[in-house]
Structure 1
Amino acid sequence: MSSFAYYSLPGFGEQCREQYGFSDACIIGDRMIITGQTGMDPVTCQTAPDLEAQVAQAFENIKALIERTLQQAQHPAYQEGKSGWEHVVKLHAYFVGLSAVRDEARAIMVRHIKQACPNHQPLFTMVGIESLPFPEHRVELEVDVWIG
C-alpha cells in the first residue's frame, strides 16, 4: 500500500490544516489529488467579486499548489518554471447558481483550460451547486494530477 503525504499552501491552506484538520493536496504513489480551490487568494484571504477573477485565482491556486507540493516532496516531476497544469488529467468545476451563468462559466473555463493546458485536453466536469462554504465564493475547482 502506498503511503500518504499531505501538503498545503501557505496562509489559508495551512490555517485549514491546523484549525479544521484537512489539507490541500495528497500524493499517493504516482497520483496527486488536489482539494477544491476557490477564487480566494490564500495569503490575503480576499475574494474578487466577479466570476472571471475567481476562476483565474482558482487556476492560479492550483498551479501554485501543484508546484509547491512537488517541490516540497522533492518529487522528480518537479521542474522549476513549469506550471504544474501539464500534469492535470481531470478537472471538476463547481459553480454556484450555474443555470444563471452557464454560458459565461463555460466560456471562462474553456479559455482558462486552453491557456493552462495548451498541449493536452484534461477530462472536465462542470456542475451547478447551491452554495459553497463561504458565501462570496462562486466557483470551486479540484483536480487529479498524474506525476508518474
Structure 2
Amino acid sequence: MKRQMINPGLTQARHYDQLHFSSATRVGDMIWVSGQVGLDLTTATVGQGMEAQARLAFENLKAVLEAAGASLADIVEIMTFHTDLRGDIQAFVKVKDEYLPERYPSWTGVGVSQLARPEFLVEIRAIAVAGCGAD
C-alpha cells in the first residue's frame, strides 16, 4: 500500500509547502485528517464565535475528506481541542450534530490553553475509513 498525501486547493501552498504537513494522509481506506480550524481558507477570515468557527472547521474537514475520496459519514473518530471547553461545548455540539447527525463517531474533547492563533477557539482532527459510512 502506498501513502497518499492529501492537500486540496490552497492547503498545498499554506500547509504542505510552508509548514511541511499534509491536510490528510491516506493509506488504503484509512484517512488521518490533520486538525481543521475555524478559518475560511479562501479569504483567510476567522469565524466569529464558536458556532461560526465550528462550522468553518467542519466545512474544511469535509473538503479534505472529499479530496481524499471520503465523506463526513466515513469518520470513525474525532478529537477536538477547545480553548474554552466547558463554556463553548453546547455551541460546538449543536454544530457537530448538524455535520455528524447519526452513527456518531468516537469523540475525545480536550481543553487547551492555546491553539495556533490566539483567535482560534476549536480545532478538529479526524480519522476516517473511506466507504464505511455508506449504507
**Which category of TM-score, normalised to the shorter sequence, fits these structures?**
0.7 to 0.9
Give, as a single letter, the amino acid of the residue that structure 2 aligns with 1:61: N
Asked whether 1:91 is paired with 2:78, we answer: yes
Q: 3-state DSSP class of the match of 2:116?
A: coil
User: What's the C-alpha RMSD, in Å, of the aligned pairs?
Assistant: 1.6
Q: Shift of residue 26 of structure 1?
A: 0.7
Could you tell me which residue of structure 2 aligns to residue 10 of structure 1? 9
Which runs of 5 or more residues in structure 1 are unaligned?
A: 71-77, 79-83
Amino acid at match of 2:123: E
Which one has the bigger strand percentage?
Answer: 2
CA-CA distance at 1:89 after TM superposition: 0.6
TM-score, length-normalised on structure 2? Answer: 0.88
- Residue 13 (structure 1) shift: 4.8
Q: CA deviation at 1:62?
A: 0.5
Which deviates further from its counterpart, 17-26 or 3-12? 3-12
* Structure 2 stretches lacking a partner, 5+ long: none
- The equivalent of 2:50 in structure 1 is 51
Distance 2:59 2:15 in 1: 19
Quick check: which has more Rg, 1 or 2? 1
Contact 1:94 1:128 in 2 (8 A): yes
One-letter identity of the residue aligned with 1:87 = D
Q: How many residues align?
A: 131
- Paired residue for 2:35? 36
CA contact (8 A) 1:10 1:43 kept: no
Stretch moving more, 135-144 or 5-14: 5-14
Aligned pair in 2 of structure 1 residues 142, 13: CA closer, same or farther (>3 Å)? farther
Q: Do the aligned residues in 2 keep the contact of 1:12 with 1:43 (CA within 8 Å)?
A: no
Q: Is the 8 A contact 1:9 1:68 kept in 2?
A: yes
The 4+ residue runs of structure 1 with deviation greater than 6 A are none
Contact persistence 2:11–2:23 (CA under 8 A): no
* Native 8 Å contact 1:13 1:42 kept in 2: no
Distance in 2 (CA, whole Å) between partners of 1:109 and 1:13 is 28
